[in-house]
């Protein structure tokens, strides 16, 4: 059966997913009951094992998806050192704005336009550095982890929500990393994962932020990191249905293994690359192959006829094409992000099958060619 779900969040469920996988969810039970704690602890331990996270790192479940987890990290850790924020799409821009306007830390902001990266070799690593591993709204990822020095003085804070389980992470270069369940594994929304290195833990225990700290960000107890949070004793109440669904997604991921999940996503990108190569009116938004995302694949229409239109008219025309595919049940949610340049965006993470992507691209081409005739 054809799967038309190409949203970049919440993303497509795993192949063959159905509601029966939730039958053992402890609905109506406390998350602090022995059963609830067992399930939450398993979600943490399985995440850590499958992702090859070092034993010395802490992994916890936080409210409000990746956003909540990353905000908790920034509000808890930032302040003792200068901060550099790397910006090349909407969400990284949001982190920079929060650092500047909410925490009042006057960060150095290294900014690049959509499709590009800032100069990663110009970073002052005496600073704490905030960045995204993959720009979900720009289709641009960091090419590798070599640009992060092993002997850095500052902390590296990485939002990896659309990278984890589809791109390899060099944990030696990571002090803080966050992700959400609803991206590469197709889990449900509203829960985020926060991963802390020993260096990040040491920062939390040695530093007291000067601003008021919301309860859902508080990770310290009696001057030390509250380890219970990172063993499944969540700060607030999680959805046990969502936890059950995440456990199912983790079981599916474990059957594949991390290497094959990454290969599956790269295979999906290869399908798009082959289509772009033979399709004259489309190109990648990413400016270079080595920074091309293999999850949130963003495409730009380069037809002179379309580019001659005003930006609003470009967007209107392109949306008319995607609307046609959506109405026919061929491809849902493929418009570019609202703040990004007009174009298309296909989620190509490991829950997507190559055959479904191939079929959707073929139909996109047909629909575009029909509408361009009368433009």
Number of domains in the chain: 2
Q: Is residue 349 a part of any domain in this protein?
A: yes
Question: Are residues 274 and 347 part of one domain?
Answer: yes
Question: Are residues 220 and 168 part of one domain?
Answer: yes
Last residue of a domain, one of 188, 221, 255: 255
Last residue of a domain, one of 230, 255, 280: 255
Q: Is residue 15 a part of any domain in this protein?
A: no
Per-residue pLDDT of the chain (375 residues; tens, 9 = 90+): 799 999 999 999 999 999 999 999 999 999 999 999 999 999 999 999 999 999 999 999 999 999 999 999 999 999 999 999 999 999 999 999 999 999 999 999 999 999 999 999 999 999 999 999 999 999 999 999 999 999 999 999 999 999 999 999 999 999 999 999 999 999 999 999 999 999 999 999 999 999 999 999 999 999 999 999 999 999 999 999 999 999 999 999 999 999 999 999 999 999 999 999 999 999 999 999 999 999 999 999 999 999 999 989 999 999 999 999 999 999 999 999 988 999 999 999 999 999 999 999 999 999 999 999 988
Task: Return the pLDDT at 374.
Answer: 86
Token output for 356? 């479904």
- The H or E element spanning position 194 is strand 191-196
Residue 287 CB: number of other CB atoms within 10 A? 16
Cα–Cα distance, 204 to 216 (Å, whole number): 15
- What residue numbers bound the domain in which 324 lies? 258-372
Cα–Cα distance, 109 to 118 (Å, whole number): 10
Question: Are residues 143 and 214 part of one domain?
Answer: yes
Task: Print burial letters for 305-314: b (CB count within 10 Å at least 16), e (below 16).
Answer: ebeebeeeeb
Task: Return the pLDDT at 1.
Answer: 72
Question: Are residues 221 and 88 part of one domain?
Answer: yes
Q: Is residue 21 a part of any domain in this protein?
A: no
Question: Are residues 202 and 64 part of one domain?
Answer: yes
Question: Are residues 338 and 251 part of one domain?
Answer: no
Q: Is residue 89 a part of any domain in this protein?
A: yes
Cα–Cα distance, 221 to 229 (Å, whole number): 10
Residue 218 CB: number of other CB atoms within 10 A? 14
Instruction: Please tell me whether the overall predicted TM-score, pTM, comes out greater than 0.85 for this model.
Output: yes
Residue 94 CB: number of other CB atoms within 10 A? 16
Question: Are residues 132 and 99 part of one domain?
Answer: yes
Cα–Cα distance, 91 to 239 (Å, whole number): 25
Q: Is residue 20 a part of any domain in this protein?
A: no
Question: Are residues 209 and 287 part of one domain?
Answer: no
Residue 99 and residue 83 in contact, taking contact as beta carbons nearer than 8 Å: yes
Task: Return the pLDDT at 229.
Answer: 98
Task: Return the pLDDT at 117.
Answer: 98
**Percent of the chain as helix, strand, coil, to the nearest 5:** 40, 15, 45
Cα–Cα distance, 259 to 279 (Å, whole number): 30
Q: Which CATH number goes with the domain that contains 345?
A: 3.90.1150.10
Q: What is the CA radius of gyration of the chain?
A: 21
Cα–Cα distance, 260 to 264 (Å, whole number): 6
Q: Is residue 5 a part of any domain in this protein?
A: no
Question: Are residues 172 and 81 part of one domain?
Answer: yes
Q: Where do we find the tokens 């690593």? A: 125
Question: Are residues 74 and 53 part of one domain?
Answer: yes
Question: Are residues 126 and 52 part of one domain?
Answer: yes
- CA distances (Å), 127 to each of 92, 123, 157, in order? 17, 8, 11
Q: What does the angle CA 371 – CA 336 – CA 291 come to, to the nearest 5 degrees? A: 120
Q: Is residue 239 a part of any domain in this protein?
A: yes
Question: Are residues 205 and 121 part of one domain?
Answer: yes
Residue 253, burial from CB neighbour count under 10 angstroms (0-12, 13-18, 19+): buried
First to last CA, the chain: 34
Cα–Cα distance, 167 to 323 (Å, whole number): 31
Last residue of a domain, one of 205, 223, 255: 255
Q: Strand pairing of 140-141 and 134-135?
A: antiparallel
Q: Is residue 246 a part of any domain in this protein?
A: yes
Q: Which of 39, 334, 64, 22 is nearest to 194 (CA)?
A: 64
Q: Which of 15, 364, 76, 74 is nearest to 225 (CA)?
A: 76
Cα–Cα distance, 323 to 317 (Å, whole number): 10
């Amino acid at each position: 059966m054809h799967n038309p779900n190409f949203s970049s969040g919440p993303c497509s469920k795993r192949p063959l997913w159905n509601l029966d996988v939730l039958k053992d969810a402890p609905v109506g039970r406390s998350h602090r009951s022995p059963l609830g704690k067992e399930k939450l602890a398993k979600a943490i331990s399985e995440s850590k094992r499958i992702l090859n996270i070092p034993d010395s790192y802490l992994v916890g479940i936080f409210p409000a998806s990746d956003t909540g987890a990353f905000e908790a990290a920034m509000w808890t850790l930032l302040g003792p050192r200068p901060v550099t924020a790397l910006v090349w799409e909407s969400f990284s821009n949001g982190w920079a704005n929060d650092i500047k306007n909410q925490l009042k830390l006057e960060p150095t902001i290294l900014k690049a336009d959509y499709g590009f990266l800032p100069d990663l070799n110009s970073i002052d690593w005496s600073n704490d550095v905030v960045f995204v591993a993959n720009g979900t709204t720009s289709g641009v990822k960091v090419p590798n982890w070599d640009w992060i020095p092993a002997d850095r003085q500052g902390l590296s804070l990485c939002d990896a929500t659309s990278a984890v389980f589809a791109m390899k992470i060099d944990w030696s270069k990571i002090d803080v990393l966050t992700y959400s369940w609803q991206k590469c594994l197709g889990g449900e929304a509203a829960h985020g994962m926060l991963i802390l290195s020993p260096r990040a833990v040491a920062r939390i225990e040695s530093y007291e932020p000067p601003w008021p700290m919301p309860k859902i960000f508080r990770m310290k107890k009696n001057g030390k990191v509250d380890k219970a949070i990172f063993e499944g004793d969540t700060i607030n109440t999680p959805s046990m249905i969502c936890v059950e669904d995440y456990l199912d997604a983790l079981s599916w991921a474990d059957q594949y293994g991390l290497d094959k999940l990454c290969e599956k996503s790269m295979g999906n990108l290869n399908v798009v690359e082959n289509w772009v190569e033979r399709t004259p009116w489309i190109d990648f938004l990413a400016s270079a192959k080595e920074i091309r995302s293999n999850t949130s694949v963003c495409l730009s229409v380069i037809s002179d006829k379309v580019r001659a239109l005003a930006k609003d008219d470009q967007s209107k025309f392109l949306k008319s094409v995607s609307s046609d595919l959506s109405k026919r049940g061929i491809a849902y949610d493929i418009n570019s992000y609202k703040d990004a340049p007009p174009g298309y965006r296909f989620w190509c993470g490991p829950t997507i099958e190559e055959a479904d992507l191939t079929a959707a691209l073929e139909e996109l081409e047909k629909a575009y060619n029909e509408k361009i005739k009368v433009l």
